[in-house]
Amino acid sequence: MVDELGLSAEEIRIGTELHQRGYAVMTFPDPELDERVERIKRTLAPRFDLDLDDPASVKNVGHALRVQDAWTYDEDVRAVAANQAVLDLLTKLYGRRAFPFQTLNFPVGTQQPLHSDSVHFSSVPERFMCGVWLAMEDISRDAGPLTYLPGSHRWPVLKNSDIGRTGWRSELSSAQEPFQLAWEALISHSNQASDTFLPRKGQALIWAANLLHGGSPQKNPHLTRWSQVTHYYFERCIYYTPAFSDEPLGRLDLRTVTNVATGEIEPNVYGNELVQPAEQVADKRRRLLPRLFRKKPRVPEGFDGERYKQLNPDVAATGLDPADHYIRFGRQERRRYT
């Protein structure tokens, strides 16, 4: 059957490893990657209060371990996520058109315990989601490299019904926290050892939706671990968040998914039927974005728009008024303004 797909030897290798181990390593196919990476670092470093010319300054990153969806204002982040060669590869391997829907950029390791993305992003049919993790520098063992559990992608996808929990309209600070004990029990029972990814700059790891992965301890706090994660869905699925859903009751927390490559919303589809998530999306917005339904917040006293733009060079590129940008994004991201 593989012969009928017209895959190259490299595509067969990647597909076989993804199927058997749950992950595969590849060289990221972008001849302009070095230039992109440097521009991304320069744009995002101010968000972490990080001086790129002073490696020791990474200690100031603190809580701000990532920037989500920088593709909305940074063309290089978007270009990495929407790389056509990667989209073509994933489309061949999964048999449905792939599209990117989320980006995460990190200056250091997350040190997260092993977890599955399937509690965050799932689909009907199941497992039509994957991630691509790109190393933006050579990463050493002391920098808190990515870890993963080979073969764990074949395990059952955990749902709230498996752990005796109700998810619909629940409040969570972390979607994966309720499932952590279950994952730890599965790991202990499997006797499977985790592996560590020590990539060179420009190498990427593709992982299956249910692969357990995380970040190892950062032994040297002065080392960076610049990387970009892009999450991909595939067309003609229902897209939802299991942590906030109760599947046996038909209560799915449906997602409104934007295709990073086109800027268009990808519809939730079941068979030939379009599934409208309007009620669920409205409920989620009320739950997660309460500021939209309260008195409009104001900038802090002494806020200086010009100084804010100097400290955050990417703000000017958005075209937004500095005060409006701070209210909509900067406050949540804890950006500097003085």
Which residues have CB under 8 Å from 265's CB, separation 6+? 256, 257, 258, 259
Average pLDDT over residues 43-62: 72
The rounded mean pLDDT for the chain is 88
Q: What is the pTM of this model?
A: 0.81
pLDDT of 64 reads 56
Q: What is the pLDDT at residue 268? A: 95
Catalogue the E-assigned strands of the chain.
Answer: 23-27, 67-68, 98-106, 122-124, 129-135, 146-148, 195-197, 203-208, 213-215, 227-234, 238-240, 257-258, 265-266, 268-270, 273-275
Q: Determine how many CB atoms are found less than 10 A away from the CB of residue 258.
A: 18
Give pLDDT, residue 61.
Answer: 53
* CATH 2.60.120.620 at 2-289, yes or no: yes
Task: Determine the pLDDT at residue 259.
Answer: 96
**Confidence at residue 321, expressed as pLDDT on a 0 to 100 scale:** 82
Sorted by where each begins, the domain ranges of the chain are: 2-289, 295-338
Query: Does the pLDDT at position 62 exceed 90?
Result: no
The pLDDT score that the predictor gives to residue 299 is 79
- The larger pLDDT score, comparing residue 256 to residue 278, is at 256
The two beta strands, 213-215 and 67-68, are unpaired
Polymer length of the chain: 338
